[in-house]
Chain A
């Protein structure tokens, strides 16, 4: 008989909604008309199928931001004995690297709204888009992140950024200056050298969560998890796949889950 997966390990694993994008309905953008899985049922499905009780969402998943919708959503997550691990915010045309103060203020305002929604969903983290952090806007981006973070602290919600789309050293510098967290993603590096140099640093600066991708022709996922272990990372590993991984969204999730369970 197969041994059941170690629950302590499963408790450190989350699955992102993007993994199931082709199957999801009830989202803001509606998606595939043949979709079968309602966003409201995602936590239940992930719990039943994988024994995983952490689910991570994009802000663009939600078809409503009304309190009644979020109350129902929260009750469905709770019914699955699950938790919203993180909400990833990617606002249209708005981010902290805008040179325009009004745009940065709008980014702050929307982020505050989503920090409130995160708090309402008992979700401990939001991840924001850093927008590139070009030298000319870096200081104002840091100030913007500080403002968001100050608000996040009042709601017990951490603010984090993804190290993608900017030199990782720049992201580290900005994260330190802003006092926020980083959300390491082992898939988002141009080469082995930068991954090996960055991950040990980034895993020490998290808000308690990280991403795991599996791109076999590009990097070794197990090695990345070992790097996290070696630096004492105790946080959550959130599984991220995309439809490019397989026509069946479940297969790549299971593949990463197996790697995680074997290497955490």
Chain B
């Protein structure tokens, strides 16, 4: 359960942002906003995090906390957030989500050492099997999307990666769950060009999860996002990267592309040390620009 102190901090944040003095946030706009658990990496209790008094948020309480603090009822989880995959655990989890009148927007799957770009067919089969399990869990949680990590998509594995995605997608369709991937870019990594990424999505029949922050420069972002916003499963990620990229620009591009889906907030350490404030700041940008 959320502690009273956290609630008061949240109220103070709302006051500081000016929301408490102005008109109530537009419910229709809030309904298009989601929040990722990764925003709260520093305070969330997760299976991989050692016990730490700074970690005060239980995954079971996450939906309540987000609904009360921000009025947001869409949530996005990493598969690594969950402490169990047993039916009883997911039943209780689903009950807590419903209690907060919320919905699981997407599950992000980041399997250790298993992804569609593996050169070993056995590893790709394990990735398929584990993805199928999580598609089943998505169904248990009434979640319409799972997002995969595409790995390298290097030329020599690209075709087998596409076939692997097709197999996963065929299963997902039987469960009314979308499979998505997001463009990824890191300075220290071998990155897949965005147009290659788009080709893989088209060839495999899956969907794109545009992430406005994951581009090396404005030119590639401006070229890619209009295409990607036309290939979604109804959801996207929004980042604000000070000095590099403004979330408002990404939202503008999406609107120009006719996107009417969800915007899910992905705040990171570069948005400030307090995750609650960081999320609020991006939420304010979104409410002003959606």
Contact = CB atoms under 8 A, between A and B. Distances in A.
A29 B120 contact: yes
Contact of B85 (A60, A62, A108, A114): A108
A91 B114 CA distance: 10
B130 interface: yes
B111 interface: yes
Contact of A93 (B86, B112, B132, B167): B112
Nearest to B114: A92
A101 B112 contact: no
A29 B124 CA distance: 11
Contact of B48 (A30, A63, A100, A114): A100
B83 A101 contact: yes
A105 B82 contact: yes
Contact of A112 (B82, B128, B133, B167): B133
Range for the number of chain B residues in contact with chain A: 20 to 34
Nearest to B133: A109
A110 B128 CA distance: 10
Given A102-B112, A108-B85, A28 B130 contact: no
A94 B122 CA distance: 13
A65 B129 contact: yes
Contacts of A114: 129
Contact of A92 (B79, B123, B132): B123
A108 B120 CA distance: 21
Interface string A25-68: 00011100000000000000000000000000000101111100
A65 B133 CA distance: 13
B112 A103 contact: yes
B85 A105 contact: yes
A97 B20 CA distance: 51
A7 interface: no
Could you say which of B48, B86, B129 has the most chain A C-beta atoms within 10 Å of its C-beta?
B129
A92 B121 CA distance: 11
A102 B80 contact: yes
A121 to B, nearest CB: 15
B111 A101 contact: no
A118 B290 CA distance: 51
A147 interface: yes
A113 B85 CA distance: 13
Interface string A60-91: 10111110000000000000000000000001
B61 interface: no
Contacts of B79: 102
B84 interface: yes
Contacts of B83: 101
Could you say which of A102, A103, A147 has the most chain B C-beta atoms within 10 Å of its C-beta?
A102
B124 to A, nearest CB: 9
A35 to B, nearest CB: 15
Could you say which of B48, B79, B125 has the most chain A C-beta atoms within 10 Å of its C-beta?
B125
B140 interface: no
A106 interface: yes
A257 to B, nearest CB: 29
B266 to A, nearest CB: 20
Contacts of A64: 125
Given A106-B112, A109-B134, A110-B130, 14 more contacts: A29-B122, A62-B125, A63-B125, A65-B125, A65-B128, A92-B113, A92-B114, A92-B126, A106-B111, A106-B114, A106-B130, A109-B133, A113-B132, A114-B129
11 contacts: A29-B121, A93-B112, A93-B113, A94-B112, A100-B48, A102-B48, A105-B82, A106-B112, A109-B85, A109-B133, A110-B129
8 A-B pairs closest in CB distance: A101-B47, A109-B133, A93-B113, A113-B129, A28-B121, A60-B122, A102-B80, A28-B122
Interface of B: 47-48, 79-80, 82-86, 111-114, 120-123, 125-126, 128-130, 132-134, 167
